[in-house]
Structure 1
C-alpha cells in the first residue's frame, strides 16, 4: 500500500528493506511514546523513504530511535529548546526542518520543527497527507 502510494507520488523515491516487527515494536519501549499505526505499517513495508535530493522523508527505525534519544538527552538542547518528550521525530527535509508526530487529545498529528527558531507547527493530520505534501508540493512547509 505505502510503496505503491509513494511510487505514484514520487517515482524516484528510494525505499529501504522492510523493518522487522520487533524493531518497530521496540520504538515504543525505547522512546515511551506510541508509534502511530500508519507509521508502523509504513516501516513494516519500507524501512525508510528517501527522495532524490537525499532527504530522509521517513527515517528508518534505527534512526528514529537514535535521533529521538539524542535530542532528548543533549544537555545543550534543554537550554535551547522546549522539551521533545512528546514528539516522535521521523523525517527531515533539505532545509534542516524535521517532522514529528505529536500526540494531542484528538489523536496524533504531524508537526514541522524548525531548529533555528524552535517553531513547531502542525502541518498534517495524517501520514498520507504528509507524504503528499512532501513528495509532490516541494517546499510548501516554508510558506
Structure 2
C-alpha cells in the first residue's frame, strides 16, 4: 500500500481540506498526450491521490485533471492570448489564486520549477521549486504572490 503523502501534507497544512478522489491513470496519461509535455512527477503524484485541491476560499490551488487539459489548451490557442502574451507551449498551468495570478510548471536548467504568471503584465517569475513549497506557501502565507 502506497502512503498518501500529499493528502497527509495537505491535511497538516489545512485541516479542513476536503479532497476529491484520485485521478485515474487514463486521465493522467490524457493530460500528457493533450499537452504534448510530460507531467512533472510531483504533480502526477498529487493527482493520483487527489484530483484537485481547493483552499478555504474555494480557490483552485491545484486544478483537477480535466481543467488542466481544458485551460492549458485554451491558453495556447486563444487568438487574443497568442497576440498579447509570449507562448505558453512549454508551460503546464495547474492552479490559480483569487488575486489573479496563475501557477505553472516550467523547465529550468535545474529541473522543473513553478512560476507565478501575471496576466496583466505577462510577467513570469520563478516563485518556488517544488509542489510541497507551493502548497506550504498557499496554505500558510496566503495569496500574496507579489512578494
TM-score range, shorter chain: over 0.9
Does 2:108 align with 1:104? yes
Deviations 1:18-69 (A, max 9, x none): 1011110111111011101100010010000001111000000000000000
Show the 5 A alignment for 1:124-139.
124-139=128-143
Alignment partner, residue 6 of structure 1: 10
Deviation, 1:129, is 0.4
SS of alignment partner, residue 126 of structure 2: strand
Deviations 1:48-107 (A, max 9, x none): 000111100000000000000000000110111110001100000011110000012321
Does 2:118 align with 1:118? no
**Residue ranges of structure 1 left out of the alignment (5+ in a row):** none
SS of alignment partner, residue 104 of structure 2: strand
8 A Cα contact 1:17 1:46, kept in partner: yes
In structure 1, C-alpha distance between the alignment counterparts of 2:124 and 2:18, rounded to whole Å: 27
Alignment partner, residue 19 of structure 1: 23
Aligned residues: 143
In structure 2, C-alpha distance between the alignment counterparts of 1:47 and 1:57, rounded to whole Å: 11
In structure 2, C-alpha distance between the alignment counterparts of 1:123 and 1:13, rounded to whole Å: 24
**Residue ranges of structure 2 left out of the alignment (5+ in a row):** none
Runs of 4+ in 1 over 4 A off after TM superposition: none
Alignment partner, residue 93 of structure 1: 97
TM-score, scaled relative to structure 1: 0.97
TM-score, scaled relative to structure 2: 0.94
